[in-house]
Structure 1
Amino acid sequence: MKSTGRLLLLALLAAGIALAVIYRDRFDVAALEAWIGEAGAVAPLAFMALYAIAAVLFLPGSVMTLAGGALFGPVLGTFYNLTGATLGAALAFLVARYLASDWVARRTGGRLKQLIQGVEAEGWRFVAFVRLVPLFPFNLLNYALGLTRIRFLHYLIATWICMLPGALAYTYLGYAGREAVAGGEGLIQKGLLALALLAVVAFLPRLIAIIRKGKLLPTDELKRRLDAGEDLLLLDVRKPEDYHGELGHISGAVNIPLEELPQRLDELGEYQERPVATVCRTDRMSAAAARLLVQQGFADVHVVRKGMVSWNQQGYPVEK
């Protein structure tokens, strides 16, 4: 019975997406304004329901967001846009979880399984990251996250809160566009504010990258932790000739060159939830390695401050 329900839901979803693709060219801001304008008092509810359906059927959310700003203004428009988008994200998440999460859990292995486990370990933090950084395809991401075991409530709250900056910026852009067409007052100020909001959204990826950069670990603190026998992976990301070269390497350090790290992450799977310290000559390559590890779901990553240069200046022992 359950498999029949899944097949029926899958067929309905496929038919809906096919229709959405066929009539995609009719889905624009002007058409939306005409449809919603005829809804009268229930226009906000109709708009949010339509936004949710659009998210499930892979229709462009930007069209809905601009229309929301034009129809309801910057404040109510942001609320309606954000709520409709979150409802759509929730529906897609639940559909994917119902249809295929058990199958994915049984069938995946190797690198893909580690990737999913990394996302699940990050939980709401991963959801917050991908919502704040508008570089990930929204509609597809909703389904992909439904295949993980991230808690639904965490997903829902992080989605609503962390999509707020982008929703506000694009809603205001839709509102400013309508005002420009109508010849309203203060067009220059409204246009500049819309551009400022878009600039903030465009800066978010850089800001999040800074926030997610591995924490700096002074060499004296690293020495203390190693001497205490802590279960810490010391990852040296220099090339082998540098690892065995003039500055030497710290005893017990695992050498995986930075350029090989993306292909060799499987070797570090047991440290997904345990402390990892990256080290290089200074801390440029090790910072890049830390960012990569964080993006792949490693939960406790540190960058050794000034790397092997500082370690040698302190007179700590090395192997060559």
Structure 2
Amino acid sequence: MDNRATRSRPKPGSRTVHSQILKPWDMMNPKPSPAASRPPFAKARQVALVLLFIIFASLAWRLWDQNLLNSEGVLLAVREHPLLAPVAFIGIYALAMLFMLPTMPLNIGAGFLWGTAVGGAFSLLGSSLGATLAFSFARSAFGQPFARGFNLSLLSRLGANMEKTPWKVIAFVRLNPAVPSGVVNFLLGLTSMPLRTYVWGTILFSAPLCLVFSHLGQLTGGFMLSGDTGRLVRIVAICLGVALFLYAGRHMLSRRQGAVQQSANTNTKDTEQPR
């Protein structure tokens, strides 16, 4: 018997979670499993979302009862709690990122409450904190089943740059508003990307969009307080048009890439047939 083959064979139970950090090209063909047809931790996520909804609904009702949901009331509450308000905002933003909820309204609201620079900084802190928590959770033992529950086609297209220049991958997903940040945070945690690269890349390349949306929130708040609703409606219409354009472009790009991938798979099968 060859001793080298015996030494290279892993012992049962000797592999650790950290040694199994998946790479995108290793996750392309996961073994079929009953859990693969449904999102990972679907029930836990649904329960968490219901609890968050109940908490936010109760808070909104209390604020409404105290007449604090108008713009003047919210600004007054932020001024009366200069330390608690930013901490609460950053925590809510991080939880929204962790549970893959839309964060653009929070970003715009930060600009309305604190202005472009300060609001953008608070949004960046909350976004980076939530993204790091999601990345670390996916890399833990609890996050390994996520490899069977997500569509990994995005990482397969980025796999060539994952090892050589991981910061370019971070730049692509953070500077592209059409890429869902919540899902990407978990997917990148399933790869071999270093945590340090992920953190500084997220902070650096998330800053531009945070500042842009915070500036939009500052403009929106100014129009609301000054009563210039006509200009506000025009800006909202432009933003909706841009969002629709990005969504349509993303959909067309996905269909085109799917067709190219299917054609490549067909050609590969044809070349592999024995002559």
| TM-score by shorter chain over 0.5 | yes
TM-score normalised over the length of structure 2: 0.56
Partner of 1:56: 98
Deviating beyond 6 angstroms after TM superposition, the runs of 4 or more aligned structure 1 residues are 22-28, 104-108, 110-113, 190-204, 266-269
Partner of 2:34: none
In the TM superposition, residue 203 of structure 1 has moved relative to its aligned partner by: 11
Q: Could you give the per-residue CA deviations for residues 124-149 of structure 1, whole angstroms, max 9, x where no partner exists?
A: 21111111111011212211221212
Where in structure 2 are the equivalents of 1:117-266 lying within 5 Å? 117-118=159-160, 120-121=162-163, 122-183=165-226, 261-263=260-262
CA distance in 2, matches of 1:197, 1:165: 17
Q: Displacement of 1:263 after TM fit?
A: 3.0
Residues 191 and 261 of structure 1, relative CA distance in 2, 3 Å threshold: closer
Residues matched between the structures, number: 207
Give the corresponding residue for 1:68. Answer: 110
| Per-residue CA distance 1:43-100 (angstroms, 9 max, x = gap) | 2222212211121123321111111101111111111111111111111111111145
- Hey, what's the Cα distance between the residues in 1 that align with 2:267 and 2:201? 29
Aligned 8 A contact 2:111 2:216 in 1: yes
Give secondary structure in 1 for the equivalent of 2:188: helix
Unaligned runs of 5+ in 1: 4-9, 205-257, 270-320
Corresponding letter in the other structure for 1:54: A
Is 1:82 matched with 2:81?
Answer: no
**Cα separation, 2, equivalents of 1:192 and 1:107:** 40
Deviations 1:91-121 (A, max 9, x none): 111111114554567999x989955743633
Q: Is the 8 A contact 2:138 2:144 kept in 1?
A: no
TM-superposed CA distance for 1:159, in Å, is 1.2
Tell me which protein shows more strand as a share of its residues: 1
Whether contact under 8 Å (1:67, 1:174) holds in the other structure is yes
Indicate how the Cα distance of structure 1 residues 197 and 15 shifts in structure 2: closer, same or farther if over 3 A, else same.
closer
Q: 1:157 to 1:60 in 2, by over 3 A?
A: same
Over aligned residues, Cα RMSD in angstroms?
4.8
User: Is the CA contact (8 Å cut-off) linking 1:36 and 1:47 kept in structure 2?
Assistant: no
Instruction: Return the alpha-carbon distance in structure 1 between the equivalents of residues 143 and 105 of structure 2.
Output: 30
Q: Distance in 2 between matches of 1:140 and 1:27?
A: 28
**SS of 2:83's equivalent?**
helix
Larger Rg: 1
**Larger relative contact order (C-alpha < 8 A, sep ≥ 6)?**
2
User: Structure 2, unaligned stretches of length 5 or more?
Assistant: 1-15, 18-40, 61-68, 247-256, 269-275
Give the match for residue 35 of structure 2.
Answer: none
* TM-superposition CA deviations, 1:197-219 (whole Å, max 9, x none): 99999999xxxxxxxxxxxxxxx
**Is 1:98 the counterpart of 2:140 in the alignment?**
yes
Structure 1 residues 38 and 117: alpha-carbon distance in aligned structure 2, compared to 1, 3 A threshold: same
| Inter-CA distance 141–36: structure 2 relative to 1 (3 Å threshold) | farther
Q: Is the 8 A contact 1:52 1:89 kept in 2?
A: yes
Name the TM-score, length of structure 1 as normaliser: 0.49
Return the alpha-carbon distance in structure 2 between the equivalents of residues 259 and 142 of structure 1: 23
Residues 20 and 57 of structure 1 are in contact (CA less than 8 Å); yes or no, is this contact kept in structure 2?
no
Secondary structure at the counterpart of residue 163 of structure 1: helix
1:44 maps to 86
Partner of residue 49, structure 2: 17
In structure 1, distance between residues paired with 2:59 and 2:178: 23
Question: Counterpart of 2:140 in 1: which secondary structure?
Answer: helix
Q: Give the partner amino acid of 2:177.
A: P
